[in-house]
Amino acid sequence: MTDMHPPVLRLSHICRSFGPVKAVNDVSLEIRRGEVVGLIGENGAGKSTLLKILAGIERPDSGEMQLNGCPVQFRGPRDALRAGVGVVHQEQSLFTNLTIAENIDQHSSARSGLERAGLQDWGRINREAARALAKIGVRLSPTTRVGDLSFIDRQMVEIARAVCIDPGQGATPLVILDEPTAVLEAAETQILEREIRKLRDFASVIFVSHRLDEIMRICDRVIVMRSGRLATNKPISDVTKDDLFRAMVDGDHQPVVRRSSPATRTPVLEARGLSRGGAFSEISFSVRPGQILALVGSNGSGCEALMRCVYGAEAVDGGQILVDGRAVRRWSIRKAIAAGLAYVPAERKTEGMIAGLAATRNIALTHPGEGAAGPFLRPGRMARVAQGWFDRLEVRPNDIHAPLIQFSGGNQQKVVLAKWLNAPALKVLLLDHPLRGLDVGAGAIVNRQIRAACAAGAAVVLIPDTIEEALELADDILVLRDGRHSACHDLAGGGAPSIQEIVAEMV
């Protein structure tokens, strides 16, 4: 259709450098009313910087930005918000100890008489929040504490916050969703997709994701960034997944080949009739060296809790855990580690790493190996071990002494994985959403390491992000429904089930 209105967003020759690095290099683009534009690119391609410029956090070195036809210059996040640019951050930016209404209100500039007197006008805040929530068709009580919400609901709150602004007559709000699906379960992702389609009616959307199939499904147009530049800017109907992949990594997509079935050996880890009140009951499984078992289930199926119990991080109410065929009493994390178990948690930042500590120290944390002699650390050896992993896993930046918090999510995950792969006698690798929030390149490296560990004789228990991931990697799939055993597939032996079959077993 022909559009009489000026584009919602027009960027002309935007540049932003950090020292010698051109993070955003001469980017020009337009986004029209009601358009959903996918933005993809590997970590470090310049997406984040571009988003920060749009959100008023960074200022461009040169170039012009127009919103709804008017040139704008943001001096801070508030300016961007007032101009109608709402960002749903990758790292959620809600105050978890405040109510939904208050979080939505942080953006709005309406001020009543009460508020000018320094008081909280709960009536106005709740009313406006209810209106914003209704606008996107979400039924949440504005007085609920955000900390009590699930991730998807928190994202709904962020979206409501983004659209509650009224940038002025005839102007269209621009909602930026920065990897919203990274932390969502599959079912929640569907809800989000539906919400995004609804947003079209009154807003334009920039949707950032690492998952190409999501982009293909949701977006009207896709922009690929690579090395700070626009590599592709095409309607979605004109591209295929492979095109996008090539545009991102500037190389060929190498699909992973299914491995042959591992030799039948005695199970290294076996769970018998594990139960935990409210989470799962009577779950049994076993893994042999070299075998990959995927635990699949919808949110609340108990997969995560099961894995945590197997690692000893949560207590089980019943059942047994056997290591090398022997039952272990009073299972705990220490015993699990001693038995050669490793656990890569989904909550990487809070449970998987010590953010302020250097990468070297993080790698040496659990199994210092030659990095320590008795109670003493040997920094030189430790650094050599870390450098080895950095090279093998292509961690960027290649600085083993930088605190881990300074690395991007994908690179953090590599370090977390290295910490466990460093174990001298790694027997079982427990992976809870190992690819969550990782870009394609980092994901491939992590997958390669998982396979290498398998080939070296480790067993893997995996909770994948998607069913495809399970089908691609696993030898066996255990499907859980509402905490109970639903189905079990031996992919190597009995042939692969279809996605539809697995979905049917999940619900």
Q: Is residue 503 a contact residue for other proteins (CB under 8 A)?
A: yes
Tokens of 425: 């006698």
Segment (H or E) for 217: helix 212-218
In contact, 342 and 429? CB cutoff 8 Å? yes
Binding residue for other proteins, selected from 12, 64, 135, 191, defined by CB under 8 A: 191
The interface mask with other proteins, positions 119-148, x = CB under 8 A, is: xx-x--------------xxxxx--xx--x
CA angle (212 as vertex; 209, 218 as ends), nearest 5: 75
Total residues at the site for other proteins (CB under 8 A)? 56
Min separation Cβ 89 and other proteins, Å: 9
Q: Which is nearer to other proteins, 261 or 406 (CB)?
A: 406
Q: Is residue 487 a contact residue for other proteins (CB under 8 A)?
A: no
CA distance 295 to 306: 9
The interface mask with other proteins, positions 420-439, x = CB under 8 A, is: --------------------
**Segment 452 to 471, residues that bind other proteins, using CB under 8 A:** 466-468
Q: Is residue 401 a contact residue for other proteins (CB under 8 A)?
A: no
Q: Is residue 278 a contact residue for other proteins (CB under 8 A)?
A: no
CA distance 431 to 133: 36
Min separation Cβ 503 and other proteins, Å: 5
Q: Is residue 73 a contact residue for other proteins (CB under 8 A)?
A: no
Q: Is residue 355 a contact residue for other proteins (CB under 8 A)?
A: no
In contact, 181 and 90? CB cutoff 8 Å? no
Q: How far is CA 112 from CA 70, 120, 128, in A?
A: 29, 9, 12
What are the residues facing 176 on neighbouring strands?
Answer: 87, 206
Q: Is residue 499 a contact residue for other proteins (CB under 8 A)?
A: yes
Q: Is residue 190 a contact residue for other proteins (CB under 8 A)?
A: yes
Q: How far is CA 102 from CA 87, 94, 110, 122, in A?
A: 17, 10, 13, 9
**Segment 146 to 175, residues that bind other proteins, using CB under 8 A:** 148-150, 152-153, 156
CA distance 224 to 38: 8
CA distance 90 to 177: 8
In contact, 144 and 130? CB cutoff 8 Å? no
Q: Is residue 308 a contact residue for other proteins (CB under 8 A)?
A: yes
CA distance 302 to 306: 6
Task: Give the residues lining the site for other proteins (CB under 8 A).
Answer: 57, 76-78, 81, 93-98, 102, 106-107, 115, 118-120, 122, 137-141, 144-145, 148-150, 152-153, 156, 185-191, 194, 213, 298-299, 308, 313-314, 351, 466-468, 481-482, 499, 503, 506-507
